[in-house]
Amino acid sequence: MHRVKQNCLACSQLQRLFYEGFAQIPVSDWSAFTKSALNPAANSKTQAKIVINRIFLKTWQNPQYYACQSEISIFINNQKYNGKSIVKIKGSGQELLRANLAQLNHDTLKAIQLSLKSAYLNAMK
């Protein structure tokens, strides 16, 4: 995993964060979640503002894979960099608790973080 050189100044998100069924992704602090995904260098003099434009997570109960699409904007020194990523992972991504009620697996949040990291690298290429 590459270490991000920018210090994450502020992370924010728009209201397009959802998964299948248009339910909200269960993350209460997107700033901390994004910083954890990007692993910014604390001693970097370059600061970046990360804006999550879109996250779409698709899960199934018994599929061959689940997928996460991320779109972000990164602002560094008055420059804007856009990044996109789609990550597909083998597995269901959710557990069926009872009829018509599913819960995301813990690994699904890691897939979202991987997708954010990949979108970051896409923007910085």
> What span, in angstroms and rounded, lies between the C-alpha atoms of 39 and 3?
6
Q: Do the domain assignments include residue 55? A: yes
Q: Do the domain assignments include residue 65? A: yes
Distance (Å) of CA 63 to CA 48, 68, 79, 84: 37, 14, 40, 24
Q: Do the domain assignments include residue 37? A: yes
> What span, in angstroms and rounded, lies between the C-alpha atoms of 10 and 107?
25
Host H or E run for residue 27: none
Number of domains observed in the structure of the chain: 1
The residue range of the domain holding 36 is 7-123
Return per-residue pLDDT of the chain as tens, 125 residues. 333 344 444 454 444 444 444 467 888 888 899 999 998 877 888 888 999 999 988 876 667 788 899 999 999 999 999 999 999 998 888 877 777 777 788 888 899 999 999 999 999 98
Q: Do the domain assignments include residue 2? A: no
Q: Report the predicted TM-score, pTM, of the whole model to 2 decimal places.
A: 0.77
Q: Which residues contact 9 (CB under 8 A, 6 or more apart)?
A: 47, 48, 49
Q: Do the domain assignments include residue 104? A: yes
Q: Do the domain assignments include residue 111? A: yes
Identity at 92, one-letter amino acid code: S
